[in-house]
Amino acid sequence: MSHRFLVLYPIVKLRSMEEIQFSLEGEYIDLLQLLKAVGIAQTGGHAKMIVEEGGVVRDGEVETRKRAKIRKGDVLEINHHFKVRII
């Protein structure tokens, strides 16, 4: 007796990430300030929550430092929805 199985996979349409270019005027900007400046976080508390939950990937690695100095050339992915390039 042979059994047949039908495997159903959900169809998920993946959204592409929204890309944001941020022109840095000084030497660096703190991560929390950047999240607020580009409009991803509405408040400092919201920005902290994003970082604490591991929602920021900087140059391929999760960034957990709230006061990380973000510099020209850095690329950040935020919650798999935004890609922020620092220029």
- C-alpha to C-alpha distance for 52 and 44, rounded to whole angstroms: 12
pLDDT value for 14? 56
Angle at 57 (CA atoms; ends 45, 25), nearest 5 degrees:
75
Phi first, then psi, for residue 34 (nearest 5°) are -65, -45
pLDDT in tens, 44-86: 999 999 999 999 999 889 999 999 999 999 999 999 999 999 9
- C-alpha to C-alpha distance for 69 and 41, rounded to whole angstroms: 17
Q: Does residue 31 form part of some domain?
A: yes
Domain count across the chain? 1
Q: Does residue 1 form part of some domain?
A: no
Lowest mean pLDDT among 2-11, 24-33, 39-48, 63-72: 2-11
Q: Which domain holds residue 57?
A: 18-86
Q: pLDDT > 90: what percent of the chain? A: 77
Q: Which of 74, 83, 85, 70 is nearest to 31 (CA)?
A: 70
pLDDT value for 70? 97
Q: Does residue 5 form part of some domain?
A: no
**For the domain that residue 31 is a member of, what is the CATH number?**
3.10.290.10
Q: Does residue 74 form part of some domain?
A: yes
Q: What is the residue-averaged pLDDT of the chain?
A: 87
